[in-house]
Amino acid sequence: MLRRSRTPLTTILLLTVALNAFGEPEAARAQTIKGTHLSADLRFVTQRMLDLAEGDGNNFLHPNHNYKQTRFYPNAQINTSNVRRLRPAWLFQVDVRESLETTPVVVDGVMYVTTAYNHVYALDAATGEQLWHFKHRLSPVTSYCCGPNNRGVAVYEDLVFMGTLDAKLIALDSRTGKLVWETQIADPELGYSETMAPVVVEGKVLIGTSGGEYGIRGFLKAFDAKTGKLLWTFYTTPENSVGVWATKDATGKDLRRDIAKEKETLARIGDPYRWLGGPVWQTPAIDRAGRKIFMVVGNPAPPLDDSQRPGDNLYTNSLVAVDLDTGRYHCHLQYVPHDRWDMDAVSPPVLIEAPDENGQTVPAVLHAGKTGYIYIHRREDCSLIRFSEPIVPQENMWALPTPEGTRMAPGANGGVGWSPVAIHPGLGLVYALAIHQPMTFHLQSTPYPGGKLWLGGAFRVAPADEHWGALVAVDYRTGAIRWEVKTPQPLIGGALATAGGLVFFGEGNGRFNAVDAATGARLWSFQAGAGVNAPPVSYTVDGKQYVAVAAGGSAQLDFKRGNAIIAFTLVE
Amino acid sequence: MDRHTQRARRWFSGIAVGATLTLGDPVSAQEMRPRAAEPIPEPQLSERLAELVPTCLACHGENGVPNYAESPIVDGQHEGYLFIQLRDYKNGARKHEVMNEVVKDLSRQDLRELAAYFAARPWPRVDQPPVADENGVVERLLAEGQCRECHGADFMGDGTMPRLAGQLTAYLVSTMRAFRLKERTNNAAMGSLLDTFSDEEIEAIARYLGAL
């Protein structure tokens, strides 16, 4: 049986003491749990809880832990000195053996996880016991390019929200798993699907769309959390998507554009915004104080062939900020204008405080790019403060795709793919999962296919023995690489940093690792038996800290599939 | 020739006026062994659509094993995929002189019902000869083409992505070649991808998938 409350005052005080012992700046914030959680019903998620998630050492309330998306967990019970004693506490097997990209969300000792094909489970986070199981009945027509993935739920009050492969948003009763409402977001026959975890703020569920390979028109939509009613839509491809005819990317590299030819095409076919792509397929960051939503927008469609999309293709491959209340455009910065290499902006953006060019700390936004750069922006106007050293080899950028195929690195998976990064604010480091996987980019022009896969050519991956991965720690105050841990395969899934001085990440070969956040020294590893290609989380129940992760492999990188959710805790 | 085939031949000869009708070579008994008798669900179709089913079975096989090498297995194929193909035959995006005629007067709802009907029938066993992937050559090709990213870890497909595992090898070869030659254009991305493979590679992939 699930106990009613898992966060007694003594636990909270113990945690606070532990945190103080480690001297992390977040320790003080963890005390706010006292005021937040000691209510009659701890599973009822209030806006205040969502706001204070950054300092919440018990729950894991957002896919990326908090609205800033720092993935920094503020409990230090599991730390560099004892992590070698980390052992599985339980293992839960979901009913679907297909890639798991889910982030477990934990509310007062209850864990919500999703699977491929849109199942949702509620589990007792201390024992792994199943509380309920919901299986979404998918309509026959679905369109998705890269695996039947789902990245997790959002929680608010007594509701659990999930986007579905058939482009619906559904709300479940968090106690029973019963469907409360569902709404059709877009038409899956036209290439729309949902794989991202939504985010809830001020009673609104925010969700974008996948489908950059299908000629969709990307968007972020806000729905009423109680009713599912659409409140507003921000289209990521404005009716004037042409922009400024930028000839260089955000770092100054020549994009080899033929502007004269593009202008001629524009005059002939008009603005291509209606099927220009620009998906938003990762959870946006929320700046509640600044009243802004920061999202990253994916690739233009078709990704390889530019012959039918003249202009910069705004706001594809961009960081975009919109107004929290209305969804109106605020600012953007485009990383790769007029892309021809599928260089989505996709790893979730993170709100940080960072020094500007003059050394003055300013509200900033960080994004780890498929390009292999980590970009730091001013939150105020999206402008770029700096970009990092390249964290992967950049070979032959930006050589144009040809019918015979042009080899380039990074390949279309990045760089940094969809993997969320983690931040250690005390160390000023960001931890990114990097991919080295060169591809040949083949060009072949085809007309808009009405909702079918539309690549404008083909990607061929270099042989596997040329691939590798790395967990890379970058100082976001300078852009310098501090350390890296090389892995034999490309990394995809996400990182978690903790106040215990640890960074957790998984590998396609089944290894789930903890390294020292300051040095990268590998301190602990566990073989999960299937690819660990999902973002790790941490939470605390009855005074005991857990680390949990899904091990289900990856359709995108074809790592061994499995069906496990594994929670770890310290043995005595 | 069974009665359904006779009926279909008569029907086709009526519609394919002036066209040369090629149904491919009959499948040899050695290549396929019909599955053991299994109960096939009764059609949940209107009388009008149920009357059409024997016409479908004339090529695609009464027990799910196609009667012609270049006709695909449709029994147990994914409903979403079948619907999109039927839709594309109707709107002309996929060209096949017989199929375009068969579906031309059917409504969208008819196509949905037919897709659901065939998807609900069990996938037949055809027992195509096993293929040894010497030195992992085919696996390397499948990895370079990222084939599993869409068709699934075991090539079982889902939704609008077709199951390839156990599909007729001859059909796989012919449809992959048709993509490559741009004779089949209702998934241009497949055409572009298969341009990067040789005929020999396409054949090796088809044999490997057919034997799964």
> Which class in CATH covers the domain with range B40-123?
mainly alpha
CB contact under 8 A, A142 and B148: no
Residues of A with Cβ-Cβ distance to B195 under 8 angstroms? 403, 442, 444, 458
Please tell me the distance in Å from A555's CA to the nearest CA on chain B: 5
Q: What is the number of CB-based contacts under 8 A between chain A and chain B?
A: 103
pLDDT band at A33 (very low <50, low <70, confident <90, very high): very low
Nearest Cα residue in chain A from B186: A449
Residue of B nearest to A439 (CA): B144
Nearest to B160 among A143, A457, A464 (CB): A143
* Residue of A250, A356, A242 lying closest to A296 (CA atoms): A250
pLDDT of B41: 52
What residues of chain A lie within 8 A of the CB of B159, using their CB?
138, 140-144, 148, 165
In the set A56, A124, A249, A342, the catalytic residue is A342
Contact B143 A460 (CB under 8 A): no
Question: In chain A, which residues have their Cβ closer than 8 Å to the Cβ of B84?
Answer: 141, 189
Question: Residue B62: how many CB atoms within 10 A of its CB?
Answer: 18
Average pLDDT of chain B is 85
Lowest-confidence segment of A497-511, A552-566, B26-40, B50-64 by average pLDDT: B26-40
Tens digits of residue pLDDT in A152-170? 999 999 999 999 999 999 9
Mark whether A342 is an active-site residue. Answer: yes
Burial A331-358 (b: 16+ CB within 10 A, else e): bbbbbbbbbbbbbbbbbbbbbbebbeee
- Residue A61: the pLDDT is 98
CA distance B205 to chain A (A): 16
**pLDDT of A210:** 97
Of A173-187, A224-238, B16-30, B115-129, the poorest mean pLDDT is in B16-30
pLDDT, tens digit, 9 for 90 and up, residues A10-23: 344 334 334 433 33
Q: Say if residue B32's pLDDT is above 70.
A: no
How far is the alpha carbon of B27 from chain A, nearest alpha carbon, in Å? 31
Collect all residues from B whose CB is shorter than 8 A from any CB in A. Answer: 78-80, 83-84, 93, 112, 115-116, 119, 140, 143-146, 148-150, 152-153, 158-160, 185-193, 195-196
Residue A37 confidence (pLDDT) above 80:
no
In this prediction, does ipTM exceed 0.90?
no
Q: Is the pLDDT of residue B28 over 60?
A: no
Mean pLDDT of B63-67: 96
What is the 3-class SS of chain B, one letter each residue? Answer: CCHHHHHHHHHHHHHCCCCCCCCCCECCCCCCCCCCCCCCCCCCCCHHHHHHHHHHHHHHCCCCCCCECCCCCCCCCCHHHHHHHHHHHHHCCCCCHHHHHHHCCCCHHHHHHHHHHHHHCCCCCCCCCCCCCHHHHHHHHHHHCCHHHHHCCCCCCECCECCCCCCCHHHHHHHHHHHHCCCCCCCHHHHHHHCCCCHHHHHHHHHHHHCC
Tokens of A289: 């104080």
CA–CA min distance A147, chain B (Å): 6
Name residues 452-511 of chain A within 8 A of B (Cβ): 452-464
Looking at residue A306, its pLDDT comes to 98
Residue A4: predicted pLDDT: 44
Average pLDDT over residues A389-398: 98
How far apart are the C-alpha atoms of A473 and A166, rounded to whole Å? 37
* Residue of B146, B187, B193 to mutate when probing chain A, most A C-beta within 10 A: B146
Cβ of A146 under 8 Å from any chain B Cβ? yes
Query: CB-CB: which of B78, B146, B188 is closest to A446?
Result: B188
Residue A533 has pLDDT above 90, yes or no: yes
- Examine the pLDDT at B2 and tell me if it is beyond 50: no
Q: How far is A424 from chain B (nearest CA, A)?
A: 33
- Domain spans of chain B, in order of start: 40-123, 126-212
**What does the pLDDT look like over B165-191, one tens digit per residue?**
999 999 999 999 999 999 999 999 999
pLDDT tens, residue by residue, A400-413? 999 999 999 999 99
- For residue range A515-532, what is the model confidence (pLDDT) as tens digits? 999 999 999 999 999 999
Domains B40-123 and B126-212 share a fold: yes
% of chain A surpassing 90 pLDDT = 91
With 0-12 / 13-18 / 19 or more C-beta atoms within 10 angstroms meaning exposed / middle / buried, residue B3 is: exposed
A558 and B153 in contact by Cβ < 8 A? yes
Asked if A460's CB is within 8 angstroms of B144's CB, the reply is yes
Summarize the confidence of residues B92-110 as an average pLDDT. 96
Confidence of residue A572 (pLDDT cuts 50, 70, 90): confident
| pLDDT for residue B42 | 54
pLDDT recorded at residue B1: 43
Could you tell me if B151 and B67 are in contact, meaning their C-beta atoms sit under 8 angstroms apart?
A: no
CATH code matching the domain that covers B126-212, chosen among 3.90.45.10, 1.10.443.10, 1.10.760.10, 1.10.1510.10 = 1.10.760.10
CB contact under 8 A, A458 and B160: no
Q: Are A322 and A250 in contact (CB under 8 A)?
A: no
Across the interface, whether the CB atoms of A463 and B79 are under 8 A apart is answered no
Mutation test of the interface with chain B: which of A437, A452, A560, choosing the one with the most B Cβ atoms within 10 A?
Answer: A452
- Predicted confidence at residue A12, as pLDDT, reads 43
Angle between helices B47-60 and B108-120 (to 10 degrees): 60
Look at residue A469 and tell me whether its pLDDT is greater than 60.
yes
